[in-house]
């Protein structure tokens, strides 16, 4: 068996396996989605995920931000903390990090070479299962204290759902991946609540009643204590600008603590509330996390692509919003932070998204729409997006290449313009990558 000698070849090998995230018209079936392969794979590896304390986070929106905040706080508290997330925005190594350090490319090459013989023993193994196991093994070898693990899709049959966490968390649930998870909030919540483990506490964000009921039912069946962050704590926004937000949290003892958060948008305050509730539970379990560590963790969190300002003149914002609920939050952020700006939106989506609803939501705040697509195999054809945009009355144009879409947007920009790239984390990442390269050339 020849050794893999480069990072690109390691990625080619990983993606040579079944990758349901790249499959057009993805549909759920027990043959595709089950935990038997993952359990076997990890057993053969010695179950590395059992070597450290785990926080497992599911949800539709906000779960990545919650994980990033938790990682930052635990790191500030002195714990060596692994963070596994998906998908990546620009580079695969973003998925696996310890504290704020991405896994090195040469380590990915090394681990893939070490895992190859075990991979060969597991029939039908998938790309996501391989990357998840790689992260678990890497964290074990690096002797992390905590692993903060973001669920990929759903929860019940997600490859990460082989862990035995010390606490679970479920962020706000909304409609997404409906072809796989179901077309009602109750069905989606049932899948997300699949991460709840017997006798392990679960922190939940504010949920609509139809999503809340399945969560509470499963938690009761599994004797899992439910910690409703919004009932336990109260958050209040104090001040905001383009550099971040000042907010305060009042706990159940009426004690108020002030924090700074560099992430923008009211929804990030809600995510911070869930994060704080998880940290309170970890402290209850006698983990030492000081108030100062919590403050420093919130203040120093780094989570790119979430209403992130990447250029000031002209103002360019990238945002990974990719479903109607996240587009409502994006619209609110535009109204809150850019009320006097004329918005040019660079827009592209995956083929399974509710494009009409997403565009209808932002129509009142977008002056000009530039339709494009990422290089992702599931990116929706720009012509199909244009038909919808035309019917909704958008002033729009299509550009097949993201690079051309950015240049067109820049040519249209004035002093009162904001360029926002959204619809997909891949669109956000591509815009960020292009501008970074452009700056280096200049």
Q: Which of 431, 230, 441, 234 is nearest to 316 (CA)?
A: 431
Q: What is the pLDDT of residue 181?
A: 65
Asked if pLDDT for residue 175 goes beyond 70, the answer is: no
Q: Which among 386, 435, 388 has a CA at the least distance from the CA of 410?
A: 435
Q: What is the pLDDT of residue 376?
A: 82
Of 36, 32, 13, nearest to 122 (Cα)?
36
- In this predicted structure, the answer to whether residue 174 has a pLDDT above a threshold of 90 is no
Which residues are within 8 A (CB) of 218 and not within 5 positions of it... i.e. 6 or more apart? 190, 193, 194, 196, 224
Q: Which two tokens stand for residue 432?
A: 């960020």
Q: What would the mean pLDDT of 334-344 be, rounded to a whole number?
A: 96
Q: Given this model, what pLDDT does residue 21 score? A: 57
Report how far residue 172's alpha carbon sits from residue 167's, in angstroms, rounded to the nearest whole number. Answer: 17
Inter-CA distances, 138 with 10, 39, 49, 92, Å? 15, 17, 10, 15
Long-range contacts of 274-277, Cβ-Cβ distance < 8 Å, separation of 24 or more: 274/62, 274/66, 274/169, 274/171, 274/203, 274/204, 274/205, 274/229, 275/66, 275/69, 275/70, 275/73, 276/229, 276/233, 276/249, 277/169, 277/203, 277/227, 277/229, 277/232, 277/233
* β-sheet with 256-261: strand ranges across: 234-241, 244-250, 256-261
For 106-133, write each residue's pLDDT tens digit.
999 999 999 999 999 999 999 999 999 9
Identify the DSSP state of 196: -
pLDDT in tens, 255-272: 999 999 999 999 999 999
| Residue 180: band (very low, low, confident or very high) from pLDDT cuts 50, 70, 90 | low
Structure tokens at 272: 């911070």
As a 3-state breakdown, the chain gives helix, strand, coil percent values, each rounded to 5, of: 45, 20, 35
Q: β-strands 342-347, 368-371: how paired?
A: parallel
Kindly state the DSSP code that residue 225 receives in the 8-state scheme.
P
Cβ-based neighbours of 128, under 8 Å, separated by 6 or more: 19, 20, 21, 86, 152, 159
Domain parsing of the chain, residue ranges: 7-300, 308-441
pLDDT at 1: 58
What's the rounded mean pLDDT across residues 215-234?
Answer: 97
- pLDDT number for residue 62: 92
Q: Return the pLDDT at 154.
A: 83
In the chain, the percentage of residues whose pLDDT exceeds 70 is 94
At the second CATH level, the architecture of 308-441 is: Alpha-Beta Complex (3.90)
Check residue 176 and give its pLDDT.
Answer: 59
Rounded to whole angstroms, how far apart are CA atoms 393 and 390? 5
The CATH architecture to which 7-300 belongs is: 3-Layer(aba) Sandwich (3.40)
Cα R_g (the chain), whole angstroms: 21
Residue closest to 268 by CA, chosen among 220, 222, 337, 219? 337
Question: pTM score, two decimals?
Answer: 0.93
What tokens does 179 get? 């072809």
What mean pLDDT comes out for the span 355-381?
Answer: 94
């Amino acid at each position: 068996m020849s050794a893999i000698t480069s990072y690109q070849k390691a990625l080619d090998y990983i993606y040579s396996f079944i990758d349901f995230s790249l499959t057009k018209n993805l549909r759920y079936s027990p043959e595709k989605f089950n935990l038997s392969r993952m359990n076997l794979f990890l057993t053969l590896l010695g179950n590395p995920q059992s070597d450290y304390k785990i926080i497992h986070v599911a949800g539709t929106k906000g779960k990545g931000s919650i994980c990033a905040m938790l990682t930052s706080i635990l790191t500030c508290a002195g714990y060596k903390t692994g963070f596994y997330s998906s998908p990546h925005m620009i580079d695969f190594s973003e998925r696996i990090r310890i504290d704020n350090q991405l896994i090195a490319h040469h380590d990915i090459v090394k681990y893939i070479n070490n895992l190859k013989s075990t991979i060969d023993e597991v029939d039908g193994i998938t790309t996501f299962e391989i990357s998840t196991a790689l992260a678990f093994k890497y964290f074990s070898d690096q002797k992390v204290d905590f692993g903060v693990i973001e669920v990929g899709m759903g929860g019940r049959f997600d490859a990460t759902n082989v862990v035995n966490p010390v606490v679970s968390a479920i962020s706000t649930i909304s409609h997404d991946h409906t072809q796989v998870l179901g077309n009602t909030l109750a069905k989606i919540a049932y899948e997300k609540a699949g991460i709840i483990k017997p006798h392990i506490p679960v922190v939940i964000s504010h949920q609509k009643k139809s999503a809340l009921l399945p969560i509470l039912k499963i938690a009761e069946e599994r004797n899992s204590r439910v910690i409703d962050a919004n009932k336990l704590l109260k958050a209040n926004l104090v001040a905001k600008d383009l550099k971040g937000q000042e907010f305060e949290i009042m706990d159940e003892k009426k004690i108020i603590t002030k924090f700074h958060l560099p992430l923008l948008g009211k929804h990030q305050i809600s995510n911070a509330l869930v994060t704080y509730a998880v940290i309170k539970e970890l402290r209850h379990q006698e983990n030492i996390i000081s108030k100062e560590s919590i403050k420093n963790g919130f203040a120093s969190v780094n989570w790119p692509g979430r209403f992130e300002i990447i250029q000031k003149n002209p103002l360019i914002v990238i945002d990974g919003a990719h479903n109607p609920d996240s587009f409502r939050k994006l619209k609110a952020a535009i109204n809150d932070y850019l009320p006097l700006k004329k918005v040019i939106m660079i827009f592209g989506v995956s083929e399974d998204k509710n494009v009409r609803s997403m565009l209808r939501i932002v129509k009142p705040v977008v002056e000009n729409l530039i339709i494009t697509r990422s290089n992702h195999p599931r990116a929706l054809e720009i012509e199909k997006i244009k038909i919808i945009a035309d019917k909704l009355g958008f002033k729009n144009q299509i550009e097949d290449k993201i690079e051309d879409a950015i240049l067109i947007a820049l040519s249209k920009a004035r002093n009162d313009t904001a360029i926002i790239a959204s619809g997909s984390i891949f669109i956000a990442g591509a815009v960020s990558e292009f501008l970074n390269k452009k700056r280096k050339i200049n």
